[in-house]
Amino acid sequence: MSLPLYKKLNVLFRIEPGCLGPDGIDHVEEFCAYAKKSVAQLDSGYIRWVITPRYDKTLPEMEYKVRNKSLSQERASQYLASLDKNLDEFEENLQEKLAELIDEYLGR
């Protein structure tokens, strides 16, 4: 399934520098670019990925938008349900993928 760009769910995921180790602040920008390339094709028919550093801990780790309008967890869940997807599973799969990418990145 491939939706037009304006109908895709924008998933903004913020990576905390600390998850990349004690000198993560020096690598987080590069890691975000690496991760974005790696997940770009994941669910690309209905997801647009934005992966960025999380320098401000007051901002949420994940945000969802459609047409530049923020969605609550409930609305994001409804959106994914309309595509026969489950938000909890979606988030869990993303967390697992990012953990794998961190391991790969740090092992380079």
How many angstroms from the chain centroid is the CA of residue 104? 17
Residues 108, 86: Cα–Cα separation, whole Å: 33
- Give pTM, 2 decimals: 0.88
Q: Taking CA 49 as the corner, what is the angle to CA 46 and CA 52, rounded to the nearest 5 degrees? A: 165
pLDDT digits (tens, 9 = 90+) for 35-68: 999 999 999 999 999 999 999 999 999 999 999 9
Structural contact between residues 41 and 62, judged by C-beta atoms closer than 8 angstroms: no
Residues 91, 62: Cα–Cα separation, whole Å: 9
Work out the average pLDDT over 83-90.
Answer: 95
Q: Is 5 exposed, middle or buried, given 0-12, 13-18 or 19+ CB atoms closer than 10 A?
A: exposed
Structural contact between residues 99 and 35, judged by C-beta atoms closer than 8 angstroms: no
pLDDT band at 1 (very low <50, low <70, confident <90, very high): confident
Q: What percent of the chain has pLDDT over 70?
A: 100
pLDDT mean across residues, the chain: 94
Q: If residue 53 lies in a helix (H) or strand (E), which one and from where to where?
A: strand 47-53
Domain ranges of the chain: 5-106
